[in-house]
Amino acid sequence: MKKCILGLVAGLTLGANIAMAAENIYPISREMGSGTRGAFTEIFGIQKELKGKKIDATTTKAEVTNSTGVMMTTVANSKNAIGYISLGSLNDTVKAISVEGVMPSVENINNKSYKISRPFNVVIKKSNPLIEDFLAYSINAKAIIEKSGYIATKTKKFVSKKPKGKLVIAGSSSITPLMEKLVESYKSVNPNVVIEIQQSDSTTGVNVVVEGIADIGMVSREVKEAELKRGISVRVLAIDGLAIIVNKANPITNITKDSVYKIFTGEMTTWDQVK
């Protein structure tokens, strides 16, 4: 009798997994112009050739979200959803899964076993003492960067010259949470400054710096050669991992890079196909 009960339980469990696996996949993407989307499509090869240039090949069936927060909320509210976010933004409302058997973490990015990472860049066009002071502080703020779940690239000792003035910082929604912490901390060191943060996306961050609307742009991807030709310079603020996320009710724990590619190009549409 005990064996029969165990067999029945196992059969029910297997059936539940099959039922879940046979359901349609609901891919969630970031908007065009998003640095997170740009980094994601480049890393996973979700691109196609058009007139000698590589362009985004994300399926038109993917739902488009316009910020990290909206991406997470959408995945958290849909059992069959899959998306991608900054590792530093990950919280317990969604579930991160491993890629090729490796979980996204600062440790695994540092030891190079998790290769799904990208730079958090800041761009400027015209410099001044306040911009230089703030960037020197921020790039070397190892404790804040690492506590926020990112990897610091520099650790030089910083002494503020306390210049006065106002800064406008604009761009990536992925970088914004870290930038808000850096701004708050910098103000405690230099109370003579007013700093405004405008959240949008990476491409907008570049454009508003070029146009003179903002002093510093936040770009959560590699800066393009065409953008550099517009007269901007780039500095790496930190290194960030990209996490593949699913709903917490989804039993999947690992995915291959090939499956990610096929899901976001529309080739793979049901969970029973996922490896």
* 242-268 confidence digits (pLDDT tens): 999 999 999 999 999 999 999 999 999
| pTM (predicted TM-score) | 0.86
The CATH architecture annotation of domain 25-117+242-273 reads 3-Layer(aba) Sandwich (3.40)
Per DSSP, the three-state class of 254 is strand
H or E element, residue 39:
helix 35-43
**Residue 21: predicted pLDDT:** 62
Sequence ranges of the chain with CATH classification 3.40.190.10: 25-117+242-273
Which pLDDT does position 20 carry in this prediction? 52
Which tokens go with 233?
Answer: 């310079």
Confidence of residue 14 (pLDDT cuts 50, 70, 90): very low
CB atoms within 10 A of CB 20: 16
The superfamily CATH assigns to domain 118-240 is: Dipeptide-binding Protein; Domain 3 (3.10.105.10)
CB crowding 114-130: b at 16 or more within 10 Å, else e: bebbbbbbbbbbeeeeb
User: Is the CB of residue 90 less than 8 Å from the CB of residue 243?
Assistant: yes
User: What span, in angstroms and rounded, lies between the C-alpha atoms of 231 and 101?
Assistant: 42
Neighbour-count burial of 1, counting CB atoms closer than 10 A to its CB (0-12 exposed, 13-18 middle, 19+ buried) = exposed
Query: Rounded to whole angstroms, what are the CA distances from 26 to 17, 37, 83, 123, 206?
Result: 17, 16, 9, 34, 31
Question: Tokens 């998790």 correspond to what residue?
Answer: 114
Residues of the chain with CATH 3.10.105.10: 118-240
CA distance 247 to 80: 7
Structure confidence by residue, pLDDT tens digits, 193-242: 999 999 999 999 999 999 999 999 999 999 999 999 999 999 999 999 99
